[in-house]
Amino acid sequence: MEGINTDEVIEEFEALTKDAGMVQRETLERILEENGSAEYLQNLGLNGRTDPESFKSCVPLVTHKDLEAYIYRIADGDPSPILTGKPIPNMSLSSGTTQGRRKLVPFNDELMENTLQIYRTSFAFRNREFPLEKGKSLQFVYSSTPGKTKGGLGAGTATTNLFRNSKYKNGMKAIQFQCCSPDEVIFGPDFHQSLYCHLLCGLLFREEIQFVFSTFAHSIVLAFRTFEQVWQELCDDIRDGELSSRVTAPSVRMAMSKLLKPSPELADLIYKKCSGLSNWYGLIPELFPNAKYIYGIMTGSMEPYLKKLRHYAGELPLMSADYGTSEGWIAANVNPKLPPELATFAVLPNIGYFEFIPLNNDAERLYMDPKPVGLTEVKIGEDYEIIVTTFAGLYRYRLGDVVRVAGFHNSTPELKFVCRRNLILSINIDKNTEKDLQLSVEEAGKLLAEEKLEIIDFSSLVDLSTDPGHYVIFLEITGEPSEEVLKECCDCLDRSFVDAGYVSSRKVKAIGPLELRVVWRGTFQKILEHYLGLGTVVSQFKTPRCVGPMNSKVQQILCNNVAKTYFSTAF
């Protein structure tokens, strides 16, 4: 493998994780030394101390809200050391799908290095199991046009910040992450056009494609659902060597014209392959005969897309990508052979300082008086909320994610992503997380599967306009389910929330019957478009699983597209 010695990278990782506790102390020391002059730390009275004990006693646990004033001063151009010793060059915009509002977080060279280290590490482990040959990758990646903050700092998604960085490009070359599409497609102004061209480039380089990638599984599924609609047009373009008029962006047309030439044989071959498939099963390996795997984040809120992805993937392995956020990276997938449902992420102890709030105790579950433990003090099988201290100016920052410790790699924990901590559905004593909603929808999905129907996407809200309040679940479904099946689905959804608070409230009618609202086909596409309009890129998009009152636009889209409504009779 050119540019990267996988054995060396693995050895490095093994050495780093031998004494993760010590590496954590050193990492905290480095973070606090580099940023000791920052106003935020100065005000907390650390006075140059860098040990974990002083750090924990002086620095409070915070959320994004607590830091907003500091972050905005940086974004507005205040050049003084506010959160970090060195100035922050860029800001990342988180997807904002969970809170309905995009968060601004600092991005700097150190985060860039962390990203490369994570990618290198998981690549080395992946490549040991599934070696890639020389070739290209088909990547459904999209970059937003980076904006500027009031103070002139670059502001884009974390991925945009990466794509535009030359160090990143070089680093990626070494791990064969070269995309078969030209940059103009990745940076294209319109996502639909870019997606179409990604598919076209994939077909043109079909023999060379070594793997298929997107940041989140959702965008891979979206890409191949789109393929089902446009495949004949793609074949026409290949046959004639001329790009469809649906692509209008001049930069994209120009770049694609350099790749396209009339190839009737290739067009016929693809046509034949697609026509021979049964309901598109195994589409990906059929199109890309040398692909070794499909790669992207497939855990957490991406799990609902796995069924469809497996369908397109046929026998091709699915490999879940690493665990990170706009705020910073956390852990790499070093067990690539595990299926996504079992994927774990080994924390890299030198990319940040990590603490964990135990959640298996009721008082702490209720957010009171959290007592975080260190990276090497976590226990197998327990759930924790993760707290990060990064090289980019976030100290003891609550990410809001819940993880479970699945085991250890040497002395660093291997985490399983559980869910976002926020309870998304709660009326009185009931507590349901995104995971609970997902499980309930999965149960209803089984009833639909018996009818050969699928759930395309789903969301929910709490409706307090009725007395008592009740849960509303929105489903977008393929085909036309019968009334009977939909009624059964509605009861099944209601019964599948097994949280004791919910069940007892339903029994005494302190929570009303669950309402199923089936939305028209294309409704979730409208939600995606809405987020794109706000500047999110498709590869960062996560469907909001619960739509709070703050997210009125999405609520409006859902509520205006209801085709059918059912109320549960389960209780």
Does a cis peptide bond (omega within 30 degrees of 0) precede residue 468?
yes
- The residue range among 16-24, 238-246, 322-330, 466-474 that interacts with ligand AMP, by the rule CB under 6 A, is 322-330
224/397 with CB nearer ligand AMP: 397
Q: How far is the CB of 47 from ligand AMP (least distance, A)?
A: 33
- How far is 107 from 70, CA to CA, in rounded Å? 14
- The residue range among 34-42, 83-91, 169-177, 319-327 that interacts with ligand AMP, by the rule CB under 6 A, is 319-327
Q: How far is the CB of 319 from ligand AMP (least distance, A)?
A: 11
**Strand pairing report for 147-148 and 323-325:** unpaired
> What is the four-CA torsion angle of 151, 153, 156, 159, rounded to 10 degrees?
-160
493 HSE (CA, 13 A, CB side): 29
**With binding defined as CB under 6 A, does residue 159 bind ligand AMP?**
no
Binding track over 48-87 against ligand AMP, x by CB under 6 A:
----------------------------------------
Contact (CB, 8 A) for 299 and 291: no
Binding track over 87-106 against ligand AMP, x by CB under 6 A:
-------xx-----------
Q: Which helix (H) or strand (E) holds 532?
A: helix 523-533
Q: Is 193 helix (H, G, I), strand (E, B) or coil?
A: helix
Task: Could you list the beta-strand ranges (E) of 62-195.
Answer: 90-93, 104-107, 136-139, 147-148, 154-156
Residue with tokens 């990410």: 399
Task: State the amino acid at position 519 in one-letter form.
Answer: V
Q: Is 566 helix (H, G, I), strand (E, B) or coil?
A: strand
- How far is 428 from 423, CA to CA, in rounded Å? 12
Total of residues contacting ligand AMP (CB under 6 A) = 14
User: In the 8-state DSSP scheme, what is residue 180?
Assistant: S
User: What pairs with residue 320 in β-bridges?
Assistant: 296
- How far is 158 from 151, CA to CA, in rounded Å? 19
- How far is 65 from 58, CA to CA, in rounded Å? 19
User: What pairs with residue 515 in β-bridges?
Assistant: 472, 567
**With binding defined as CB under 6 A, does residue 325 bind ligand AMP?**
yes
Binding track over 275-314 against ligand AMP, x by CB under 6 A:
----------------------x-xx--------------
- The residue range among 129-137, 324-332, 368-376, 445-453 that interacts with ligand AMP, by the rule CB under 6 A, is 324-332
Binding track over 392-431 against ligand AMP, x by CB under 6 A:
-------x-x---------------x--x-----------
User: What pairs with residue 566 in β-bridges?
Assistant: 516
Q: How far is the CB of 163 from ligand AMP (least distance, A)?
A: 15
Q: How far is the CB of 459 from ligand AMP (least distance, A)?
A: 16
Q: How far is CA 381 from CA 88, 338, 341, 414, in A?
A: 38, 18, 16, 11
Q: How far is the CB of 330 from ligand AMP (least distance, A)?
A: 8
Q: How far is the CB of 506 from ligand AMP (least distance, A)?
A: 29
Binding track over 501-540 against ligand AMP, x by CB under 6 A:
---------------------------------------x
**With binding defined as CB under 6 A, does residue 390 bind ligand AMP?**
no
Question: Which residues of this protein are in contact with ligand AMP, per CB under 6 A?
Answer: 94-95, 297, 299-300, 323-326, 399, 401, 417, 420, 540
